[in-house]
Structure 1
Amino acid sequence: MEMSERSLYRPEDTRFEVDVEALITRLRPLLPAEGLITHEQGRRAYECDGLAAYKQLPLLVASPETVDQARAVLRICSESGVPVVARGSGTSLSGGALPHPQGVLLSLAKFDRIKEIDPHRRIARVEPGVRNLAISEAAAPFGLYYAPDPSSQIACSIGGNIAENAGGVHCLKYGLTVHNVLQVTLLTIEGERITLGSLAPESPGYDLLALLTGSEGLLGVIVEVVVQLLPNPLTKQVLMASFPTVETGGHAVAAIIAGGVIPAGLEMMDGPAIQAAEEFIQAGYDTHAAALLICELDGGEAE
C-alpha cells in the first residue's frame, strides 16, 4: 500500500469496522503489562513516523517482547480481519510506519538484542529493534563494522532499515541494506514463521530476500536478521572541495566515477545547505562556495 493510499483512510471509514472491546479482550492476556496501549494519549505517540506531515491515530498499539507474543497478535488480527502495521524506531521519512485507523500498530521496539557477533564468518545476528549504529559498536572490538549508515543510524532500527532498504553515505561503494543482509526471519500475517536467504553468499531459488527488502513491512513482520560485517579499512582520508557552481561540482562527481575511483562516500552540498550546516555546527565550511563536494576514500595506502 502506497503512502498516498494510506493517507485516504479516516477514522470514520466503515469499510473496516472492528469490535474494539472484543479485540482488546483477546489481545491483553497475550501481552506483558503495558504491552497493549489503548488510551489515546499513549496511541498518539505512534500516529506518525519521521514524516510528520501525515498522521493517523492507530486503533490499538501492541508491543510484544517475544516472537510467540508477536505471532499470537498477528494470528488474532488475521482471524478478526484487522490490519496490522509494523513499526521500528519510527525514523522513516516516507510514511512507512503510518498506522491504519482501524488497525493494530505492532511495535518491535522491545526486540533489541544482539544475539551473536561471529568475527570468523563476519556476521551479526540481531533482533529487528537493534539500532543500526549498535551493530557496528558491538562489532568494533573485532575490527569489523556494518556498512549501511543512514543519517539516522544513531536511532533507526535494523528492521526498519530492511523495510525501507536504507542506504547512507557509504552506499556508493558498499551498497544499500539489500546488499548487506544475508538472512531474515519473519512472521506472516497468519503468524507463520519463515526464513529467507542463507548464511552462504548465495541461496537457491527466487531471491525473495531482495523482494522483502524495501517492501515497508507489507510482506511480513521481521523478527530476526543476519547481516554481513566488513573489516575496518586500513586507512581513511576525507577530501573537501569548493566549487563556484553546482554544475561544476556535478561534473567533478562524474569525472571521479569515470576515472575508475569508487569513493567510500561522496556527497555534495549546495549553497543553502552549506549555510544551514555552518550556522548550526560551525564546521568551518566555505560559505562563499556554491557547492561543496565531500569525498571519503578508504582502503590500503596504495589505493
Structure 2
Amino acid sequence: MLDAEVLHAFSSAVGAANVVSDPVRLRSYECDGLTGFKQVPSLVLLPLDTASVAAAVTVCHRYGIPFVARGAGTGLSGGALPVADGVVISLQRLREVVEVDPVDRIAVVQPGVTNLDITKATAQYGLYYAPDPSSQQVCTIGGNVAENSGGAHCLKYGFTTNHVLSMTVVLPDGEVVTLGGDTGEQLGPDLRGVFIGSEGTLGIACDITVRLLTVPETVRTLLADFPSVTAAGEVVSDIIAAGIVPAAVEMMDNLAIEAAEKAVGAGYTLTTPAALVVELDGPAAECGNQFEQVKAICDRHGCTRLHIAKDAGERAKIWQGRKAAFAAVGRISPDYIVQDGVVPRTRLAEVLGRIEAMGNAAGLRVANVFHAGDGNLHPLVLFDADAGESERAENLSKDITELCVELGGSLSGEHGIGTDKACSMPRMFGEDDLAVMDRVRAGFDADKLSNPGKLLPTPRLCGEKPGRYRPHPLEEAGVIERL
C-alpha cells in the first residue's frame, strides 16, 4: 500500500482526478489479453501528455516504485501484467494524431492512437500505415512499439521497427529524450532499434513518428483450399522460391476455419483441411503476372477450390475471416491459449505435424492460423478449465513454443516474451547472451523499475509454479476474496 506522501506526489504529477485507487476500477487493469496471469496494481495513473508521463515516472524513480506502461491491453504475452506493489501508467488518454505530413509521408502520433486510426487519418492523402496486427482496430501504436508488432502484411513490408522513424521517450528516471531521427537513423548506436521491441523494460514511448506508404495501385487477393496442410505449406515455399514476395500469405487449418466461419461467415470451405489467403499488390502489370504464377503453383499442389476476390468488398470479407480467427475460437472451445513462435518456412509441414502429434498425446485440440509467408505460427491450444485441462494446456503451449526453437526458429515472432515465455528464454539464448541483454537493460534502468519481471528470466519468476492463476479453495468457496 502506498503512503500518503507518495499518493500526493502522484496526484501532483498527473492530477488527482487522473489517479485511480478504487479497488473495483483497479481490477480492470489486472491483466492484458493473456488472462491467465492476473495481478491488481496499487494505483493506476492516467496522464494526459508527455510531461505528465515524465512527472509520474519521476515520482516512481524517486520512491523506488515499479511501474508498468499500458496501452489497450490487447497484448498476448502478459507484457502489461501489473506489479503488486507498483503502479500502472495507462496511456489510453494520449490519443492525438499530432501531425500528418503528406509530402514527407510521415505522421506523428501519441501512443494511445490505435493502429488502424493512423491509416484512417492519412487515407485522404492516398497513404496508409503498413504494419497491421489482427487487433489493429483496437491495439495502440505505443504497444506496437513495445512488442515490435507484426501482422499479415509484414512479409513484404516489415514490422513496426521498419516504419518508426523516431520517438519521444520517457526514460525510467523521468528524463525525456528523442531516439531516432528524420530517417530512422542517428549517429552512434541504434537506440531507436534497441528500444523498439524491448517490451516496456527501457522506458515509455510517447510521441511517435511513423513512416507512411502510398496505397498500392493494384491489390489482388485469393483464397485457396488444399487437401492437406502439407500441400498448403509446399505452396508457400514454392511461391517464395519463384522470387515472388506477396503482400501476405496466411494459412488456416480446419479448426481455425470452422471457428472463423461460425463467427463471420467469410465464405471459407468448412470441410477443407487447409486454406491459404494470398495477397499481391503493386503495379498492375507486375501484380497480374505474379498472380497468374501463384494460381499455377496452387494448381500444381492439388488446390481443390480457388476463390479470387472480385472487388474490395470480397477482399475485406476474406480478411475478416482471417483476422477474426483468434477471438472466433471461443465459439468452439470454452478456453484457449494463443501462442506465438517462428520456424523456417521449409519446416512448416514438419512443425505442424509435430504439433498435431503433441496435441493428440495431450488429449487436446490445437487450431492453427498463422503468417505462413514468414513462418510465424499462432497455434491455439483449446481446453476446458472446468474439466481440469488447464495444466495440460499450459504445458502443451510451452512445449510448442520451445519446439519452434528446436527446429531453428524463435520463441516469438510478434507477441513478445512478456511474462508467458520469460522462463523459456534460456532455450534460445546462452548465459552470455542473456547477461548482455540484462546489461543493456541496466544501462537504461539500473533499478529495474520499468516493467520488472518481463522478458528476461529471473530466479523468482522461474522458481514459481508457472501458468494460469489457480484460486485458493477458500476463494472458490466464497470465504475470501482475491484483491
- For 1:112 and 1:283, the matched residues in 2 are separated by 32
Question: 2:142 maps to which residue?
Answer: 159
Which residue of the partner structure matches residue 301 of structure 2?
none
The residue matched to 2:234 in structure 1 has which SS? helix
What's 1:49 paired with?
32
Q: Does 1:111 align with 2:94?
A: yes
Query: Is 1:217 the equivalent of 2:200?
Result: yes
Contact 1:148 1:167 in 2 (8 A): yes
Tell me the secondary structure at the aligned position of residue 136 of structure 2.
coil
Amino acid at match of 1:262: V
Of 294, 298, 301, the match for 2:277: 294
Q: Structure 2 vs 1, CA of residues 201 and 69 (structure 1 numbering), >3 Å: closer, same or farther?
A: closer
Residue of structure 1 equivalent to 2:188: 205
Does residue 1:192 correspond to 2:175, yes or no? yes
Matched, 1:269 2:237: no
Output the CA distance in 2 between the equivalents of 1:44 and 1:258.
Answer: 50
Q: Secondary structure at 2:235's aligned position in 1? A: helix
List per-residue Cα deviations over 1:174-221 (Å, max 9, x = no partner).
Answer: 000011110011011211011111112532211111111111111011
Q: Which has the higher helix share?
A: 2
Aligned AA (1:169): A
Pairwise CA distance, 1:20? 3.0
- CA RMSD of the aligned region, Å? 1.1
Runs (5+) with no aligned partner, structure 2? 287-483
Q: Larger deviation: 64-73 or 168-177?
A: 64-73
Q: Which of residues 227, 242, 264 in structure 2 aligns to 1:244?
A: 227
Q: What is the TM-score of this pair, normalised by structure 2?
A: 0.58
Q: 2:119: which partner in 1?
A: 136
The answer to whether structure 1 residue 100 and structure 2 residue 89 are counterparts is no
Alignment of 1:61-100 (within 5 A): 61-100=44-83
Corresponding residue for residue 299 of structure 2: none
Q: Secondary structure at the residue paired with 1:45?
A: helix
> Equivalents in 1 of 2:177, 2:14: separation in Å?
22
Return the letter of the residue paired with 1:181.
V
Distance 2:11 2:23 in 1: 17
Q: TM-score, normalised by structure 1?
A: 0.92
Which of 263, 283, 301 is the matching residue for 2:266? 283
- Partners of 2:162 and 2:196 in 1: CA distance: 10
Task: Please give the alpha-carbon distance, in whole angstroms, between the structure 1 residues aligned to 2:27 and 2:34.
Answer: 15
Q: How many residues align?
A: 286
Shift, 1:102, TM fit: 0.6
Q: Report the counterpart of residue 214 of structure 2 in structure 1.
A: 231
Instruction: Give the whole-Å Cα distance in 2 for the aligned partners of 1:30 and 1:200.
Output: 33
Aligned identity (percent) is 47
SS in 2 for 1:116: strand
Q: Which residue of 2 aligns with 1:9?
A: none
Deviation string for 1:26-47 (max 9, x for gaps)?
2113323530011111111100
SS of the equivalent of 1:71 reads: helix
Structure 1 range deviating more: 172-181 or 28-37: 28-37
For each residue in 1:151-189, what CA deviation from the matched residue of structure 2 results, as whole angstroms up to 9, or x when unmatched? 111111100000011101000000000111100110112
Unpaired runs of at least 5, structure 1: 1-17
Counterpart amino acid of residue 243 in structure 1:
F
Distance 1:34 1:265 in 2: 45
Residue identity matched to 2:101 = D
2:217 counterpart letter in structure 1: L
C-alpha distance in structure 2 between counterparts of 1:259 and 1:226, whole Å: 35
Shift of 1:21: 2.7
Q: What's 1:3 paired with?
A: none
> Alignment partner of 2:52: what SS?
helix
1:10 is aligned to none
**CA deviations over 1:1-55 (Å, ceiling 9, x no partner):** xxxxxxxxxxxxxxxxx64332112211332353001111111110011111111
Within 1, Cα distance between the matches of 2:98 and 2:108? 5
Alpha-carbon separation, structure 1, partners of 2:53 and 2:263:
42
Task: Indicate the SS of the match to 2:284.
Answer: coil
Distance 1:63 1:149 in 2: 26
Q: Does 1:38 align with 2:21?
A: yes
Deviation string, structure 1 residues 46-88 (Cα, Å, up to 9, x no partner): 0011111111000111111122211111111111010011011
Instruction: Please tell me whether the aligned partners of residues 166 and 184 of structure 2 are also in contact (alpha carbons under 8 angstroms).
Output: no
For residues 50 and 148 of structure 2, the distance between their equivalents in structure 1, rounded to whole angstroms, comes to 23
Native 8 Å contact 1:184 1:222 kept in 2: yes
SS at match of 2:131: coil
In the alignment, the residues of structure 2 paired with residue 151 and residue 32 of structure 1 have an alpha-carbon distance, to the nearest angstrom, of 35
- State the distance in 2 between where 1:39 and 1:301 align: 57
Contact 1:32 1:65 in 2 (8 A): no
